[in-house]
Structure 1
Amino acid sequence: MAAVKRNTWQREAVRAALLAGEGFVSAQRLHATLHATGSPIGLATVYRALADLAVVGEADSLQSPEGENLYRACDSSGHHHHLICRVCGTTVEIAAHDVESWAQSIALEHGFTDAHHVVDVFGLCRQCSAST
């Protein structure tokens, strides 16, 4: 289990900015948002705070199709997956029981234990599909 880190004003500022935002955001964009409000917080500190929030389950983290790490305030506890619109960023949290069963089954088949996985599905939401 990860060590509990003390809450600092910087971590609280990052947490508040995530809660105020909508959808997933990069560390750079969150840093720019914080600076626009006058915060002196550094980019490296934003990266560390986001990583820490993801470890303790207070932030969702995923990798965009372009390979960039993105974060958002976590809406639910426990393991879950996401459907993410590539155009507008609309995100829906989903349970994927078939994926869970498959991941455990394939791990056992190959002699792996304590298997973990990340599944995020990118596509176009209904509204963006209709406008293309």
Structure 2
Amino acid sequence: MTSTDRPAGRPTRQRRAVAEVLESFDDFRSAQEIHGLLTARGQTVGLATVYRTLQRLADADEVDVLRTEEGEAVYRRCSPTHHHHLVCRTCGATVEVEGPAVERWTRAIADEHGYADLSHHLEIFGTCPACLSG
């Protein structure tokens, strides 16, 4: 069984707490920020447990993970369809976007080189309208 085939694990109290806190925000948050939200709610969940739970949820495609421009992994619950992210580098606001042109380009490049079983991630960073006007 590969890590992507591994189930998210039995729903312990700590894992349920992490899953519940993920429902409380729409932007991407770091494991430390998620741990802070849990602590503020009075939940006693260790930071290592938060990291492990987030990794299991990511392996099970239950959360999206992206790397910020600084290289930090951040997490959020996203829609189940394939999409990409437009992320404000100032406030972290995130918009899910579909990219048919990206999908066509990805398939064309793979076909050109004989690759199959494709996957890819695309994050676009910029400044949102609210931060531009603020």
Please confirm whether the aligned pair reaches a TM-score higher than 0.5, indicating the same fold. Answer: yes
Opposite residue 40 of structure 2, the aligned amino acid is A
Opposite residue 66 of structure 1, the aligned amino acid is E
Structure 2 unaligned residues grouped into runs of 5+: none
CA contact (8 A) 2:6 2:60 kept: no
Return the offset for 1:130.
Answer: 2.0
What TM-score results when the alignment is normalised by the length of structure 2? 0.90
Q: Partners of 1:32 and 1:90 in 2: how far apart?
A: 19
Q: Which residue of 1 aligns with 2:42?
A: 38
Q: Which residue of 2 aligns with 1:114?
A: 117
| Residue 83 (structure 2) pairs with residue 92 (structure 1) | no
Find the residue that maps to 1:88 and give its secondary structure. Answer: coil
Percentage identity across aligned positions?
47
Return the offset for 1:107.
Answer: 1.5
Return the offset for 1:21.
Answer: 2.2
| Residue 6 (structure 2) pairs with residue 3 (structure 1) | yes
Alignment match of 1:124 (pick from 98, 103, 127): 127
What TM-score results when the alignment is normalised by the length of structure 1? 0.91
Opposite residue 98 of structure 1, the aligned amino acid is A
Opposite residue 19 of structure 1, the aligned amino acid is E
* Greater mean alpha carbon deviation, residues 6-15 or residues 115-124: 6-15
Q: Which residue of 2 aligns with 1:58?
A: 62
Cα RMSD between the aligned structures?
Answer: 1.3
Opposite residue 43 of structure 1, the aligned amino acid is L
* Greater mean alpha carbon deviation, residues 102-111 or residues 77-86: 102-111
Return the offset for 1:36.
Answer: 2.3
Structure 1 unaligned residues grouped into runs of 5+: none
